[in-house]
Amino acid sequence: NMANDGQFKDKHGGAGAVKAIRRNTDFRGLAAGHETEVRAELQAEGRASIVERNAIRLQTAADLYFEAVIKAFQDGELDRADSYIRQYGWLAGAALRAWAQLRGESREKPEDVQAVISLYREDGGQDA
Q: What is the pLDDT of residue 122?
A: 64
Average pLDDT in the 67-80 region? 96
Query: Residue 111's pLDDT is what?
Result: 60
Above pLDDT 70, what percent of the chain? 74
Gap between the Cα atoms of 92 and 95, Å rounded: 5
> Residue 21, Cβ neighbours under 10 Å: how many?
11
What pLDDT is recorded for position 5? 47
- What's residue 112's pLDDT? 60
Q: What does the alpha-carbon distance between residue 44 and residue 108 come to, in Å, rounded to a whole number?
A: 11
Maximum average pLDDT range among 10-24, 54-68, 101-115: 54-68
The whole-number pLDDT of residue 9 equals 55
Mean pLDDT of the residues in the chain: 84
Handedness of CA 9, 12, 17, 22 (dihedral sign): negative
Give the whole-angstrom CA distance, residue 114 versus residue 46. 12
Is it the case that residue 41 has pLDDT exceeding 80? yes
